[in-house]
Structure 1
Amino acid sequence: MKVLIIEDEKPAAHKLLRLLGEINPDIEIMDVLKSVEDSINWFLHNPRPDLIFMDIQLEDGICFEIFESKPIHTPIIFTTAYDDYTLKAFKVNSIDYLLKPIDSDELKNAIDKFNVHYKQNDYSRFESIITQLQPKTKERFLIKIGEHYKSLQTSMINCFYINERCNFIHAYNGKNYPIDYSLDKIEQLIDSKSFFRINRNFIINYSAIQDIIAYSSNRLKIVLKVCTEKEDIIVSRERVSDFKEWIDR
């Protein structure tokens, strides 16, 4: 089995190498990479590994930037000190998600899971399994209008927002509809390429943005093509950097 390790912390990489050697001495380590940039370049010039062990926080960014640059179909076992990215990990080719410090038994179980579902380079079978495991992004939301129900396509949603502790959809027809989902839940259900949560109260659709304006305290003001009743839609200071990366993809 040919394995690629993407890990920027030397002690963590050394421990993983040691544990893998103890679990299966026949594992071949193709390379140990430290950064997003190195990983992207490696995939451009090297054959496909059988399995990838990948940290999430790398020395020059988040590992998910690798997937934005190049499609990667190899199964991945994530090894990280953070549990904030579990859902996002399973939207790519994740077999398992191990928290540091890596436990030998948990690592062996993850490799056993890989061996059960993925043998003899059966890529088509693996991709079928991954497709079944990946959370589906919602294509429609069911909304209630009086005594009637309506199915609203996600692509027709201008934004999701909170007003007086209630959650709403603002649609491209200019109307507002109450919704039972919290914004935290909505954020998990929708396509992150199309929608971005700019602050605690707003998730906006990229295609709904009409203008982006520099605002006080290094924040940004968003003008939507179809305005809501809110006067100002502001990207919070802590989200500005991520928002710019999301826009500049």
Structure 2
Amino acid sequence: MKVLIIEDEQPAAHKLIRLLEEADKQIEVIDVLASIEQTINWLAVHPGPELIFMDIQLEDGISFEIFETCKIQTPVIFITAYDEYALKAFKVNSIDYLLKPIAPDDLKAALDKFNVLHRQQANYSRLESIISQLQPKTKERFLIKIGEHYRSVQTLSIHCFFIMERNTFIQTDTGKTYPIDYSLDKIEQLVDPGQFFRINRNFIVNFSAIQDILIYSSGRLKIILNGWTEKEDILVSRERVTEFKEWMDR
């Protein structure tokens, strides 16, 4: 069986290839594509595969845009990190999915379903509205209090969120630090995970603010952040180093 993988995260793509090889020796992965543009160009010049594994969130947008340009007859199994409850909508539309991180048993069940419904065309008529509902809502700005005044700070201008003496603060691209009435756990849910990463219990950093990354003691990494004015070192915890490297390399 010829399979096409559309996935922009290399570690996730490599893991899926390995799991497919373990699940069925007859599966041949004919290509791995990372973007909407690559996929549209590929489908224009290649015969359709027998099955497509497609991540919803690609590096250049939501994968539904592919269906607006290409007429896809091939069954699709979606790959996503979206909330499991929201994904019930996919089953209503007879579209299968795999929730990240992919478990071998879930992959086997999806392949078994494909074999039962082999070559049955999926119904994509309501997919666009479903995906739009599932897209994560990220916070565009945060309200901060400065003395007797309030000010709105754009999220992308925040270099980091951090905890100091049990309080939460932000440091902006101006180098100024302000207290904020959110926990780091809540902030982690509100910001774009492609732009911000929680490197330890006390820090969430903005990708655009990272100036340098140094190898540090005990398997950790040290982050040099643009404009960082506090004395405390910004360290990636040993437990988060592997995931942090994958995030930096996506």
> For the aligned residues, what is the CA RMSD?
4.1
Determine the C-alpha separation between the residues in 2 that align with 1:196 and 1:127. 28
Matches within 5 A, 1:7-156: 8=19, 38=29, 41=32, 46=49, 68=58, 72-73=63-64, 76=78, 88-90=81-83, 95-96=87-88, 111=91, 113-114=92-93, 121-123=123-125, 125-156=126-157
- What CA distance in whole angstroms lies between the structure 2 residues aligned with 1:243 and 1:130? 27
CA distance, structure 2, for counterparts of residue 246 and residue 231 of structure 1 = 23
Question: 2:215 is matched with which residue?
Answer: 214
CA distance in 1, matches of 2:32, 2:174: 45
Q: Give the % identical residues.
A: 53
Q: Is the 8 A contact 2:169 2:177 kept in 1?
A: yes
The answer on whether the counterparts of 1:40 and 1:69 sit within 8 Å (CA) in structure 2 is: no
Deviation sequence 1:199-224 (CA, Å, 0-9, x none): 11000011111111111112111111
Q: 1:188 to 1:40 in 2, by over 3 A?
A: farther
Q: How far does the alpha carbon of each residue in 1:194-246 deviate from its partner, in whole angstroms, 9 at most, with x for none? A: 11111110000111111111111121111111113133111101111111111
Q: CA distance change for structure 1 residues 220 and 132 in 2, over 3 Å: closer, same or farther? A: same
Task: Specify which structure has the bigger relative contact order, considering alpha-carbon pairs within 8 angstroms and separated by 6 or more residues.
Answer: 2
Offset, 1:193:
1.3
Gap change, CA 1:221 and 1:215, over 3 Å in 2: same
- The TM-score with structure 2 as length reference comes to 0.60
- Structure 1 counterpart of 2:87, one-letter code: I
Alpha-carbon distance change, 39 to 69 in structure 1, aligned in 2, over 3 angstroms: farther
Task: Count how many residue pairs are aligned between Structure 1 and Structure 2.
Answer: 187
Runs (4+) of structure 1 moved beyond 6 Å?
32-35
Give the secondary structure class of the aligned counterpart of 2:240.
helix
2:94–2:122: 8 Å Cα contact kept in structure 1? no
Separation in structure 1 between the aligned mates of residue 211 and residue 188 of structure 2, nearest angstrom: 22
Shift of 1:172: 1.0
Native 8 Å contact 1:142 1:152 kept in 2: yes
1:204 is the counterpart of 2:177: no
Q: 1:175 to 1:126 in 2, by over 3 A?
A: same
Could you tell me whether the CA contact under 8 Å between 2:197 and 2:206 is conserved in 1? yes
SS of 1:152 mapped into structure 2: strand
Q: Name 2:245's counterpart in structure 1.
A: 244
Give CA deviations for 1:164-183 in whole Å, capped at 9, x if unaligned.
Answer: 11111111111111111111
Give the equivalent residue in structure 1 for 2:191: 190
- Partner of 2:139: helix, strand, or coil? coil
- Equivalent residue of 1:127, what SS? helix
Offset from partner CA, 1:67-120 (integer Å, 9 cap, x none): 557964367487xxxxxxxxx3249xx623xxxxxxxxxxxx973x2259xx98
> Alpha carbons of 1:75 and 1:128: their partners in 2 closer, same or farther (altered >3 Å)?
farther
Corresponding residue for residue 181 of structure 2:
180
Query: Are the structure 2 counterparts of residues 232 and 126 from structure 1 closer, same or farther at C-alpha, using a change threshold of 3 Å?
Result: same
How far is 1:40 from its partner? 5.8
Partner Cα separation in structure 2 for residue 162 and residue 215 of structure 1? 21
Normalising by structure 1, report the TM-score: 0.60
1:198 is paired with a residue whose SS is strand
Question: Unaligned regions of 5+ residues in structure 1, if any?
Answer: 14-31, 53-62, 79-87, 97-108
- What's the CA shift for 1:46? 2.2
